[in-house]
Each structure stands twice: as C-alpha cells, then as structure tokens.
Amino acid sequence: VYKYIRKSKAERSFNYATRLLENDIQTPEPIAYIEIDEKGLLSHSYYISIHEPVDGTIRDIYSNPVNESKDLLRAFTVFTAELHNRGIFHKDYSPGNILYKKDGDKYRFYLVDLNRIEFKRINILKGCKNFCRIPIDKNMLENIVKEYAAMRKYNKSICEKLINYYNQSFWKKHLY
C-alpha cells in the first residue's frame, strides 16, 4: 500500500512538517525522509528532523505545580484553537505529541508524530473531539472550555458537553 497507493509515514511526516512551518506552527525542522525497498515493496521508512531541545510535553500539566499547570493548560488551549482556526487537525493529538518551551511567561508549542495530520476546515464537533486524548478532570475541562469556546466563538455550554463526551468516550474505550 505504501509503495503504490499511499505515501509512507516518513514522507507524510516530512511534507506535513514543511507545511506546518509554512503556517508558522512549530515542529522540529525536517531534514529528510528515507524509504527502503525490498523486492519492489516498501520495507522501512524513516523521517529525520533536527533535535529540538524543549522543556517538556503537555503531560507536565499533571505533575507541575498548580499555578504553572494552569498557565500551561491555558496556553495549550489557545494554541489548539489557533491550530483549528488555521485548519490544522492532528489526529494523534495526545500529551506526548505536543512539546513546549517556556520563554519567560510565554509558551511555544511544537507538534511531533506528524504522519496523521489533516488540513481542512474544523467545525465545533471535530475541534472539541481533538481534546479526547488529553486526560482531563472537571477543573481542567472548565479551563479548556472557557478559552477554547471564546477563541473559536462557540457556545460555551455546547463546547463543554462535547469535549466532556468525547473525552469520556475515548477513555472508557481505552481503559476498560
């Protein structure tokens, strides 16, 4: 399939990284991708990027002090809304795939694991569903909804119900 029908994960990662950077979304700088064929079929592919030193991943919202976690969560939510406003949808938007650097009191975010990104208009359903892989509690949900709904100009109550529904559905499916 990856030889004749679909681009390899490595090639998609390379192309999407280039496109993200063109849209002013940070990701480690792409260098190349390599595809190795055996007997006329793709056997291995590798995506190569510059190593980007970062301060952490979104997983840190669970272990940082409360005030720092709240600031990180707010900045992450604003970043997510900006992605969606630009028509960028990461299908594997999980805590380990969102890196950050802290610059004073500001955060800069970097996306990784790029082979499953879509570039298209993102409606309220798709946007709210994108938070499903981020384990969130009630307090985090309130903070996410407040920022996300405001930035996307969505009804806060509808956003809250959707994000909560998608999040609970995802974790029930993956934990039980």
User: Mind listing the pLDDT tens digit for each residue in 58-72?
Assistant: 999 988 877 788 999
Q: What share of the chain is helix, strand, coil (3-state, %, to 5)?
A: 45, 20, 30
At residue 149 the predicted structure's pLDDT band, cuts being 50, 70 and 90, is: very high
Mean pLDDT of 13-38: 97
The answer to whether the beta carbons of residues 15 and 7 sit under 8 Å apart is yes
Distance CA 176, CA 167 (A): 14
Q: Residue 157 has which token pair?
A: 């109550």
**Whole-structure pTM value:** 0.91
Per-residue pLDDT, 68: 82
Give me the percent of the chain exceeding a pLDDT of 70.
97
pLDDT of 1 higher than 90: no
Distance CA 51, CA 122 (A): 30
Q: Residue 38 has which token pair?
A: 């055996």
For residue 100, the surrounding DSSP H or E stretch is strand 98-103
Instruction: Look at 2-16, 92-106, 150-164 and tell me which has the smallest mean pLDDT.
Output: 2-16
Q: What angle do CA 122, 126, 131 make, to 5 degrees?
A: 115
Distance CA 88, CA 111 (A): 11
Query: What is the tens place of the pLDDT at every residue in 30-42?
Result: 999 999 999 888 8
At residue 123 the predicted structure's pLDDT band, cuts being 50, 70 and 90, is: very high
Q: Residue 145 has which token pair?
A: 């909804």
Distance CA 6, CA 117 (A): 14
